[in-house]
Structure 1
Amino acid sequence: MAATRPGGGESAKLRVRPVQAAYRQVAEQLRDQIVSGALPSGSRLPSETELGSMFGVSRSTVREALRQLASQHLIDTTRGVTGGSFVAAPDAGRIADNLGGSLGLLVNSRGMSVDNLIEARLLLEPHAARLAADRACEQDLAELRRTVEGTGHLDPDEGFTVHWDFHTTLVSISGNPLLHVMCSPINAVLRGRMHRDRISRPAWDGIDEDHVKIYEAVAGGEADIAETLVREHLLGLKPLYERMED
């Protein structure tokens, strides 16, 4: 029941949001400007004293905000006469690693299922193969070819790595770095959870054969075929992934 004022009327019903700690508010405003491009890569931020004056907070608050941004790899801080805090240059590999860790936590907490990851992979990787068939240069194809060797003579761990290298390379030669950032964390989580000891030798041989066919389609510039082959290949692997949750 709403409170009643001494004069008889009811008090106003307020919608409020909890006030964030000061350092979080400073970090959030700086993050927004970095992500939006208002502060481009390489930009030097004002000193801690200057930022404190601009935001009306203490140096220790600014320092904590900068520490948070550095932990998110949004800024780099150096010491010395020419030091300071600078907006970090984007690094696709580092971004993908960070996303992979977050996805792993979600899967482990059951906030996301392996099925969700497989579904996302089916949306992304076949299209990456199509782009690779259209765009890959000779150097790209040579890199992909190195990952399609038969793995029967390799020990299981080494062969397992080669199989994943094929998919990582295929996406990386699509010419779209964003696809690499999106696919890498998904594959990293699936790779970490796959029970390789449950995969038979004939299954590994079938995977090798699929990779060769996909490579040949990409090398031949056959975009439709490459896309179809990757989709069929991933669907064929789906039962292996589903066993992860057994």
Structure 2
Amino acid sequence: MTVQRKTTGLEFDDVVTTSAAKQIAESVRGAILEGRLKVDERLPSEDELAVRFKVSRPTIREALKRLAAQHLIRSRRGPAGGNFVTAPTAVDAAFSLANMTTLMVAVGHISLDDMATARLELESVCCRLACQQRTQADLDAMNVEIGLQKKSALTDEEFCAADVRFHRALVNAGGNAVMKFLMHSVVEALQPISNMVIYRVRERQAIVSYHKRILAAVEERDEEAAVKALADLVAYTQDSYRESFARRTA
């Protein structure tokens, strides 16, 4: 029989010793997401949690580490210190998403073709939004990165960074917070991985030419031209994937 206990804002069931830290972290996380634990509310002490969950203090510490890694709690030292509920910022959430996406690519759960397809579909929406919402500052930001990409003295790492910033500026020009969040994993995670795969076979000037086409279309508010330029860029990237893998195989 499951015995349910309750403390302020937090309900939990007795847990088994296997993966106890994970179960405790999920229980606290659920209480936060459901609003039973409020932002800035102080959690019970480690000793109190250990007694209530019937586990050791090291198990509680592991659970708290899991919650901190998810940006759901923060620690504060001093007489009024302890562990407090916090709310992850959009930046924190996007960063976590990008890290998880990178890991999924690394272990083979996301293929390069999946990357290209997702990028085309999502960024096409961003192109259309950018054509509608862009400001002169957005155009200037993209133009600055194109100017940098033209410099032959740029290292591969610097060129890749300018590439990422160009697409970040394109997404930002759309002015849609949800798309910015979703595209973070594409721009900040998949884009660098893509560059890492193809940098030996791509032509920098080809990338620059596609970026110039995208910028010109956004400036003219021509949605179809912007999407077409992006599609050509993604197709070029996919061809570069194939050439890169063919060279490795040879």
Counterpart of 2:210 in structure 1 is: 210
Counterpart of 1:149 in structure 2 is: 147
Counterpart of 1:98 in structure 2 is: 96
For the aligned residue pairs, the C-alpha RMSD in angstroms reads 2.9
Counterpart of 1:191 in structure 2 is: 192
Counterpart of 1:14 in structure 2 is: none
Q: Which amino acid aligns with 2:135?
A: C
Task: Give the secondary structure class of the aligned counterpart of 2:146.
Answer: coil
Structure 1 gaps of 5+ residues are: 1-17
Radius of gyration: which is bigger?
A: 1
TM-score, normalised with respect to structure 1 = 0.76
In structure 2, the CA distance between the partners of 1:82 and 1:101, relative to structure 1 (3 Å rule), is same
TM-score, normalised with respect to structure 2 = 0.75
In 2: Cα distance, 1:74 partner to 1:243 partner: 44
Q: Sequence identity, in percent?
A: 31
Q: Which amino acid aligns with 2:160?
A: F
Q: Quote how far apart the aligned CAs of 1:166 are.
A: 0.6
In structure 2, the CA distance between the partners of 1:42 and 1:118, relative to structure 1 (3 Å rule), is farther
Q: Quote how far apart the aligned CAs of 1:70 are.
A: 1.1
Counterpart of 1:63 in structure 2 is: 61
Deviations 1:130-173 (A, max 9, x none): 11222233333332332222633232422332222111221233
Q: Which amino acid aligns with 1:137?
A: T
2:23 aligns with one of 22, 25, 50: 25
Q: Which amino acid aligns with 2:217?
A: A
Task: Give the secondary structure class of the aligned counterpart of 2:175.
Answer: coil
Q: How many residues align?
A: 226
Q: Which amino acid aligns with 2:84?
A: F
In 2: Cα distance, 1:42 partner to 1:227 partner: 44
Bigger relative contact order, structure 1 or 2 (CA pairs below 8 A, ≥6 apart): 1
Larger displacement relative to structure 2 (170-179 or 31-40): 31-40
